Amino acid sequence: MAVGGGVGILAAGSSALQGEHPGSSSLTLVKVGIAALTVCWVGLCFAAAISTWMLSQASRGADTYRHGSIVRNNTLDSFYIADTIYHQLLHAVIASLVFTGIRVIYALVALCTQDPYLSPINGTLVVRVLLSFLPESISALLLVAAGVLTRNVRRIATRTKLEGQKGKKQHIRTCKK
């Protein structure tokens, strides 16, 4: 919702700037909108860092993590997924965040400095391609590739969950004896 709000504020300010009599409030709206998007990007980076830490705990075999899921009272939470798929998706998101960050920071700098050389509309073609088009394209391609590589996640997660339930039942049977 915060990203949508930032985009809405940015769009309102940008459309007002295109009018015949743009006011200073229009430029302020644009700056507030791009600042909101930048804050959202930082939040996503923070969430990715936390996910990476949780994955490292799972890789170390910590008692509270198993197969990318939090274990409470020796029972798995409903979200149960294989570690390799989680690795692939997390790495794709982190790589995508790098390129998305390039694009967001470029937009922030271009809109706040009002430098005509950096303008996303009137700037040089090289700057627009290298700092706008390529990062967005690479980010999208990384996420599509991760989606293709993990297209069987439901089947693998179901199989892993069933295997976990079999192991749990066998553990209960051995404890009762």
Phi-psi region of 168 (alpha: psi -120 to 50; beta: other; left: phi over 0): alpha
pLDDT greater than 50 at residue 5:
yes
pTM score: 0.69
Indicate whether 156 pLDDT > 70: no
Banded pLDDT at 59 (limits 50, 70, 90): low
| Structure-token match 């390039």, residue found | 102
More confident residue, 47 or 21: 47
% of the chain beyond a pLDDT of 90: 24
* 85 or 42, higher pLDDT: 42
Residue 142 burial by CB count (10 A; 0-12/13-18/19+): exposed, middle or buried?
Answer: buried
Pairwise CA distance, residues 74 & 176, whole Å:
16
The residue that leads in pLDDT, 43 or 27, is 43
Taking phi over 0 as left and psi of -120 to 50 as alpha, with beta for the rest, 75 belongs to: beta
What mean pLDDT do residues 8-13 have?
84
pLDDT range class, residue 124, cuts 50, 70, 90:
confident
The domains of the chain are located at 42-176
